[in-house]
Amino acid sequence: MASPSNEEEQQSAEGLPDRAVASPRKKGRGRGLRTRSGCLTCRKRHVKCDEARPACTQCTRNRKTCSYVVNREDGSRAATTEVASPVTASAPAPAPAPAPASAPASAPKSNSNGHGPEPGTVTTNLEYQSSGFSNTEVTQNMTATGASPASIDQPVGIATARWFGMLAGDAELEFRTSPQQNLPESPATVNSQLPVSVPVHVGLSDSPFTQSYRSDDLWSERLSWQSPTRLTLQDAEQQLFDVFVQRISLWLDLLDPYRNFASLVPRLALWNVGLLNAVLTLALRHESLQTTSVESPFARRDALQYYHETLHYLSKALQYPSYHTSDELLATTIIISAYEMLDGSSRDWERHLQGVFWIQRSQVIHGDSGGLRGAIWWTWLCQDVWAAFRDRRRVFTFWRPERKLAQLGPAELAARSVFILARVVDYCSAGQTAETPSGFIEKSRHAEQLSVLLDEWADLLTPQFTPLPRYASKEAVFKEIFIHPPLYGVAIQVHHAARLLILLHRPTLGGLHESLKRQAVIDGHVEQIGGIASTLTDYASGTLSSQCLYIAGLSTFNQRYRDEILRQIQLCRSRTGWQATSMEDELKFHWEQHSGF
């Protein structure tokens, strides 16, 4: 158990009689040794912390992210004694390193053929300090500002700091071990990040967000992390930006009828360097997966450079309380998470999903939040449901909708299918067992409750979910089921995928007749998923549809169905570029493991 802090000891002393306070007593072995409560990492691990700055000995030895909670008294003192202004204090002097005299102040070429974009070269009048960030910068910068309205000791600040700490630690390790990445050793390669002190009136008339913030007390602070003028893109970066707007946003906006990722996020990015770099990171990684040609102008190492610049911006901008709760930060978090999803690192992706959950929870963001925040939550849920299913864990969220299914519109009903799938994934997690009689009964009861919920959802479907007539080929393996727009077709696929998971994990007493009957029901759901997938040709639905096909592939023993599912997953992957790890290979391995059943 951690020892009490000095503040707690002083409070307990104040409650004693005067003579008890005045009488000299020798301190016990565990008292008086620590002037603070240690770093967040050591406190979480319940180990002794020597509170060395910027990183304590324990975190340095174990290569952990080291961050400190700063109380308001310390924060205000830092603001008055160490900081002349928040802007000048936020940018520590760059470490000197030799560089060719003729080298321009721009990012290094992304690849040898020179076709790729130069990371971090968005042109703006912001002063930028690049590269060489560490995973302790955000804590140091927050301490330097001493901003009291939303200090790091508040839940929002702690959640954001923990999320960034994981990101910085993972990125530092990846850059250190990547053989293809040639990062500059000196922070003199990029030309824009946080603004210098700029008059409030400079460049603001063109901003689409000026009026909503001009009357806000935090508007002046917002200028500290927001560009005063619209950012401009180089030609290669414009190409990547278009990829995000016209293609990737469709996938992110699948459950959002207002398409915030296509309409609002790009406009926010043009006024925020961090969000723009995140957008370019995701777009570049997406394009790098579209071809394996060595002559491709886009490579993974280029995306890593943009990713690095995004994290460096975050290390500076997170010192400002207004940035912690901004739409720009929330959009950046989910875009970085999508990048991890494309990049194929399941462990990093899961950690980042958890970090996004912390941030959303601290700001009470959920499925009914509406607007961009609600859209971000649903995008995050789609990612977390898949990650949780693959890892056999529970979904991170524990939000319970207040509105009943009967109160939802068609688009909301479609989105709710993903939430119901999340509850089914919770049911299928490793924690749900039926090895004992009581466990058998409990798991059967839970499965029945979920089945009733799925029945209720299906009973409330509106005409938008009804299949439309379509010419069907007699040679087709699955009878085509054409539901348009694709959102409603994918929702039906998700519904049947949830049914399949319940059937696969629901305890049964066995018996040949019962097994055959159960498999017939399973194949019926597989046919529904495959029939809808055979009519989907759009980009937006490809990711979620392929996940449903994967679940269908795990469920069927019909070889014709299996072959067709593999073909349809390949088509989804060719449309979307997702995912790096082949689901087809995983299904083949699963079928080989269960070939005797």
Tokens 């029901």 correspond to what residue? 521
Tokens 């789609």 correspond to what residue? 382
What pLDDT band is residue 579 in, cutting at 50, 70 and 90? low
CA 354, 355, 361, 365 torsion-angle sign: negative
User: Both tokens of residue 12?
Assistant: 């307990």
The amino acid that residue 207 corresponds to is S
What pLDDT band is residue 135 in, cutting at 50, 70 and 90? very low
Reported as a single tens digit per residue, the pLDDT across 54-71 is: 788 887 777 677 777 654
Reported as a single tens digit per residue, the pLDDT across 421-457 is: 999 999 999 666 667 788 888 999 999 999 999 999 9
Q: Evaluate whether 529 touches 552 at the Cβ level (below 8 Å).
A: yes
Q: Is the pLDDT of residue 401 over 90?
A: yes
Q: Is the pLDDT of residue 84 over 70?
A: no
| pLDDT reported for residue 170 | 60
Separation CA 7–CA 11 (nearest Å): 6
Separation CA 262–CA 379 (nearest Å): 13
| pLDDT reported for residue 94 | 34
556 Cβ neighbours under 8 A, 6+ residues apart:
522, 523, 526, 562, 565
Tokens 């993972």 correspond to what residue? 170
**Most confident by average pLDDT, 218-232, 285-299, 354-368, 487-501:** 487-501
Reported as a single tens digit per residue, the pLDDT across 196-212 is: 333 333 333 345 554 44
- For the stretch 268-299, what's the b/e string if a residue is b when 16 or more beta carbons lie within 10 angstroms of its beta carbon? bbbbbbbbbbbbbbbbbbbbbbeeeeeeebbb
**Most confident by average pLDDT, 6-10, 79-83, 256-260, 302-306:** 256-260
Give the 3-state secondary structure percentages of the chain, helix then strand then coil, rounded to 5: 55, 0, 45
| pLDDT reported for residue 589 | 93
Share of the chain above pLDDT 90, in %: 47
What pLDDT band is residue 581 in, cutting at 50, 70 and 90? low
To the nearest 10 degrees (0 to 180), the angle between helices 512-533 and 542-555 is: 160
Separation CA 562–CA 581 (nearest Å): 19
| pLDDT reported for residue 595 | 74
| pLDDT reported for residue 423 | 97
Q: Is the pLDDT of residue 134 over 60?
A: no
Torsion of CA 217, 221, 226, 228, to 10 degrees: 80
569 Cβ neighbours under 8 A, 6+ residues apart:
546, 549, 550, 553, 583, 584, 587
Q: Is the pLDDT of residue 168 over 90?
A: no
Q: Is 388 helix (H, G, I), strand (E, B) or coil?
A: helix
Mean pLDDT, residues 511-538 taken together: 93
Select the more confidently predicted residue: 79 or 360. 360
What pLDDT band is residue 510 in, cutting at 50, 70 and 90? confident
The amino acid that residue 129 corresponds to is Q
| pLDDT reported for residue 418 | 98
Cis status of the peptide bond prior to 469, with omega within 30 of 0: no
Select the more confidently predicted residue: 315 or 214. 315
| pLDDT reported for residue 211 | 43
Share of the chain above pLDDT 70, in %: 67
Beta bridge partners of 482: 468
Select the more confidently predicted residue: 188 or 334. 334
The amino acid that residue 208 corresponds to is P
Q: What is the average pLDDT value for the chain, to the nearest integer? A: 75
What are the backbone angles phi and psi of residue 127, rounded to the nearest 5°?
Answer: -85, 125
Separation CA 592–CA 537 (nearest Å): 30
Residue 378 half-sphere exposure, CB side, CA atoms within 13 Å? Answer: 30
Separation CA 463–CA 282 (nearest Å): 36
What pLDDT band is residue 346 in, cutting at 50, 70 and 90? low
Select the more confidently predicted residue: 515 or 486. 486
Select the more confidently predicted residue: 215 or 224. 224
